[in-house]
Structure 1
């Protein structure tokens, strides 16, 4: 019997769920888990994130080609409809699902991890790696991370949103080569994909459309600002409001500037250290 972790990744969905998955797998250091990614490119680099075993499977429907009936799985994706999820609950002996939807409900035959829900067989938590809670000197005054994906080159369309702010730019994973070259010329101070952790931890203020990056920035003691992308889920808005994280919609530059100018007087709520809590919940759910 094997344990798998499926995570939705790709050039149109980014790596937020992937970063969360790697955090959980690292927390379960003594558990043998195979990470299943929905694209091959990041699966090949998962070892750089502390994941020993990873496989690219191209599509969520290919999971049964890797896993056998009776295996166990952690599932982090919103691709599956209710019928597919029910089939998975029957196919796997243990089915642990991660959800960001405040209107979600735990189904029979599954365990659930959620920042909104609580109850029996539910772990109410926000997942951020412990490494972001370690104090580090904030040597970057302002940085901007649009996300790991930008297939439609939306950042380029909205460059005026941060024009004049001169932030450090953190580049994403799924950027086209010519697009990345353009951005490097546009931003004197830019950071490669591999520098992501350092950028997040060293930034005093992080402007980002990546929910996971915003949470990691908050954990590091910084002052993050969340930008709601038009093509991204709004599931995190209520969570960020509860943490008192400023939210910018419709690329409202005037509002962004107001936030930055008054940010030293803005009181953020502190993130909790929850890696151990998640690890214990998953191990108990897996009967380990």
Structure 2
């Protein structure tokens, strides 16, 4: 059995889980059965929209072996401290894949890495976007803002001046506090429910986001994308995002965002490629 662990939660959002959903769907097409592991039920419920209907919750990366057994395989997408658990996983499991923490990360115990810009036979590409985003769809003239699935610190309300200066529609996150949208309604022309995520990312002509995974998905869908770099941990660093022709703005700078929206998207050095999981599926052939 293959297990896919994606670190999720109300403080970190669902970027890793969305990336995981893309991998699981690609594996399913190849006839490879895999089980998703997340940290909370809300993540599992949210992923139904992304085509994933079964999941198991565990507390942390250290609990993977409470579900996976000797001889199973596991994919790990997490920046948690494993407290030495990875050594045991590589020893006990048939194979371990994990996402690199940064560009300097390397395999320590024999695990296989997902790395952004992978050009070696020993690794897999970490920039992963669901196949659905590559499908051609009609664009609506919509300026959509998506912070991310989490706003634990109420970042949006703390930057009210920015949102008053740039008129946008907002896509709510799955972890937003109850009744938070009552306050947000004062800042945005329209609020969209989290369940509309995939449809809106695919159909919006312009997307402004602080989620690096969403930035890649919107770009793959053909939208103009502005990524707001908040200086927090992200699944893709800002310098990598720029290489895909995505405009990057530091923080909630309304003047910079307005200029970005009025300018042409920069030429991309790299194109977002369709997912390739052959190096995983070949283990099951």
**TM-score over 0.5 for the pair:** yes
Q: CA deviation at 1:235?
A: 4.6
The residue number in structure 1 matching 2:5 is 6
The residue number in structure 1 matching 2:20 is 21
Q: CA deviation at 1:272?
A: 3.5
How many angstroms apart in 2 are the aligned matches of 1:31 and 1:51?
14
Structure 1 pair 255–126 and aligned structure 2 pair: CA distance change class (3 A): same
Conserved in 2, the CA contact under 8 Å of 1:96 and 1:112?
yes
How many angstroms apart in 2 are the aligned matches of 1:224 and 1:138?
13
Deviations 1:160-211 (A, max 9, x none): 2232321110100000012122213432312100101111112111110001
Number of matched residues?
Answer: 283
Structure 1 pair 31–17 and aligned structure 2 pair: CA distance change class (3 A): same
Conserved in 1, the CA contact under 8 Å of 2:227 and 2:247?
yes
The residue number in structure 2 matching 1:31 is 32
The residue number in structure 1 matching 2:273 is 273
The residue number in structure 2 matching 1:181 is 182
The residue number in structure 1 matching 2:122 is 121
Instruction: Give the SS at the match of 1:119.
Output: coil
Moved more, 17-26 or 33-42: 33-42
Moved more, 10-19 or 104-113: 104-113
Moved more, 148-157 or 132-141: 132-141
Conserved in 1, the CA contact under 8 Å of 2:2 and 2:35?
yes
Moved more, 132-141 or 214-223: 132-141
The residue number in structure 2 matching 1:41 is 42
Instruction: Give the SS at the match of 1:28.
Output: helix
The residue number in structure 2 matching 1:55 is 56
How many angstroms apart in 1 are the aligned matches of 2:50 and 2:204?
21
How many angstroms apart in 2 are the aligned matches of 1:100 and 1:129?
21
Deviations 1:25-44 (A, max 9, x none): 01111221111001122224
Structure 1 pair 51–81 and aligned structure 2 pair: CA distance change class (3 A): same
How many angstroms apart in 1 are the aligned matches of 2:188 and 2:83?
44
Structure 1 pair 164–24 and aligned structure 2 pair: CA distance change class (3 A): same
The residue number in structure 2 matching 1:201 is 202
Question: Any stretches of 5+ residues in structure 2 without a counterpart?
Answer: none
Deviations 1:111-170 (A, max 9, x none): 111113432321235211121112222213311000000111111101222323211101
The residue number in structure 1 matching 2:280 is 282
Q: What RMSD over aligned residues (CA atoms) do the two structures have, in Å?
A: 2.0
The residue number in structure 2 matching 1:110 is 111
The residue number in structure 2 matching 1:223 is 224
Structure 1 pair 83–117 and aligned structure 2 pair: CA distance change class (3 A): farther
Structure 1 pair 234–126 and aligned structure 2 pair: CA distance change class (3 A): closer
Alignment of 1:139-178 (within 5 A): 139-178=140-179
Deviations 1:73-111 (A, max 9, x none): 111111034722222211211101122511111234211
How many angstroms apart in 1 are the aligned matches of 2:126 and 2:80?
22
Conserved in 2, the CA contact under 8 Å of 1:140 and 1:168?
no
**TM-score for the superposition, normalised by structure 1:** 0.91
**TM-score for the superposition, normalised by structure 2:** 0.91
Structure 1 pair 196–46 and aligned structure 2 pair: CA distance change class (3 A): closer
